[in-house]
Structure 1
Amino acid sequence: MIKNAHGHTVDLLGGAIISGRYGEGAIIPPEPILGEELGVSRTVVREAIKALAAKGLIVTGPKVGSRVLPQEVWNWFDPDVIAWQAKAGLTPEFLRDLQDLRRVVEPAAVRLAAERASAEDIAEIEAAYAGMKNAIEHGGDYVTSDLRFHHALLRAARNRMLTQMSKALNALLRTSFEISTARSNGPALSLPMHRAVLDAVKAHEPAKAERAILKLIDSARIDIEDVLGSRRRLPRLGRPPPRLKATA
């Protein structure tokens, strides 16, 4: 999607902050300088600054200009903030924070899904699982189906806040799934764990569903820690997901 001048300016400035071009405590250049540098009007810059302040990246005030705030107060549930971090590069600290978040949020969400999932919710989870299985057997995009599976689980919890949180988890899930996909026989090994989650939700067994998703999450954590420990390069989320080769 092509963004307008405002959206493009927010992206440029937000990306510059996340990447460290403007570090913590740095003063963002005044509107006239930014407008000239970016080729936009002062009004566009002013509105972009307001958007970045709303995301917790900067604070503005009379006579002090716009100053970059510490990372701890950035809105990490904002999809734009996560997208800028993904583009700048997923750091080990960022991934570990998200792993912790996933372990706290997803088991509780899956318990709710096992209690509340409708027939339509279960059909969506089953369709995602079928896509994963098909990618393993016949080749194709496994990661997108894996993402679909986990987002369907969160939606099945029937909680609007959890549904929104899935956007924050997307960077971790995508990275985790790509790492697992890159490991020898990784998708085939994780498929039975996904099946166990699906079966427990389908049977409306919350405790069993929670145990199954924890096993899956902890397996993914091991994969990520192995990559971080080996210092191998993390996946770049701006690229299309890798495709599996057929095994059947």
Structure 2
Amino acid sequence: MSAWNLYDPQVIRWRPASPGREAQLRELAELRAAVEPAAAALTASRHDPRVRDELTTHARAMDTAAREGDGQAYVTADAAFHRVLLTESGSGMFAQLAEVTEVLLEARRELLLLPVRLETTAIGLRHEFAEAVVAGRAAGAAQAAAAILGRARAEVEQILADSREHVTEVPR
């Protein structure tokens, strides 16, 4: 594993479907927790109203998808939201993590690691983030990004815990 490119989309797609999925999901959550608040602060420092409009559009699309129970549309809008966040930071290194995030979100959907009832509360956090970006409040944007990631991580942890509870031991 030490020779693998852990950022390769194929590896990211494969690992959550493997026995090491919990480790993969935690590692990616840790990476995102380290990067996305910093990217949010950088994005906010750019004071670009166009970015707020894009973020708000994606947050609204997530809200609509959640209300309709459309997991695919929800993930598509969520990935687009994070792509804007990462690419508009101005950091090429952060921008390249957009694909990693997109693949992770899609893998969560495919492996049924999204809540049965899609969350609309997190949409408000995305709107707060968009407002902080346009106002140039770097600390507020970073806090909103951290809150978004905290909720996502808690969702995954709960789903994993629930799945462990439903695993029955096979008699030998």
What TM-score comes out, normalization by structure 2 length?
0.80
Between the aligned partners of 1:192 and 1:215, the Cα distance in structure 2 is 11
Gaps of 5+ in 2: 165-172
Distance 1:174 1:196, change over 3 A: farther
Please identify runs of 4+ aligned residues in structure 1 that moved more than 6 A. none
Between the aligned partners of 2:83 and 2:20, the Cα distance in structure 1 is 21
Between the aligned partners of 2:157 and 2:17, the Cα distance in structure 1 is 21
Q: 1:48-59 residue pairs with structure 2 within 5 A?
A: none
Q: CA deviation at 1:76?
A: 0.9
Between the aligned partners of 2:20 and 2:49, the Cα distance in structure 1 is 37
User: Is the 8 Å Cα contact of residues 86 and 171 (structure 1) preserved in structure 2?
Assistant: no
Between the aligned partners of 2:147 and 2:10, the Cα distance in structure 1 is 30
1:205 alignment counterpart: 137
Q: CA deviation at 1:162?
A: 0.8
Of Structure 1 and Structure 2, the greater strand share is in: 1
Between the aligned partners of 2:146 and 2:87, the Cα distance in structure 1 is 18
1:109 alignment counterpart: 39
Q: CA deviation at 1:174?
A: 3.5
Gaps of 5+ in 1: 1-70, 233-248
Please provide the CA RMSD for this pair. 2.5
Q: CA deviation at 1:172?
A: 3.0
Q: Which has the larger radius of gyration?
A: 1
User: Is the 8 Å Cα contact of residues 117 and 156 (structure 1) preserved in structure 2?
Assistant: no
Q: Which amino acid aligns with 1:102?
A: R
2:61 alignment counterpart: 131
Secondary structure of the equivalent of 2:7?
coil
2:8 alignment counterpart: 78
Q: Which amino acid aligns with 2:157?
A: E
Match of 1:158 among 62, 87, 90: 90
User: Is the 8 Å Cα contact of residues 61 and 77 (structure 2) preserved in structure 1?
Assistant: yes
What TM-score comes out, normalization by structure 1 length?
0.57
Q: 1:13-52 residue pairs with structure 2 within 5 A?
A: none
Secondary structure of the equivalent of 1:72?
coil
Between the aligned partners of 1:72 and 1:130, the Cα distance in structure 2 is 40
Of Structure 1 and Structure 2, the greater helix share is in: 2
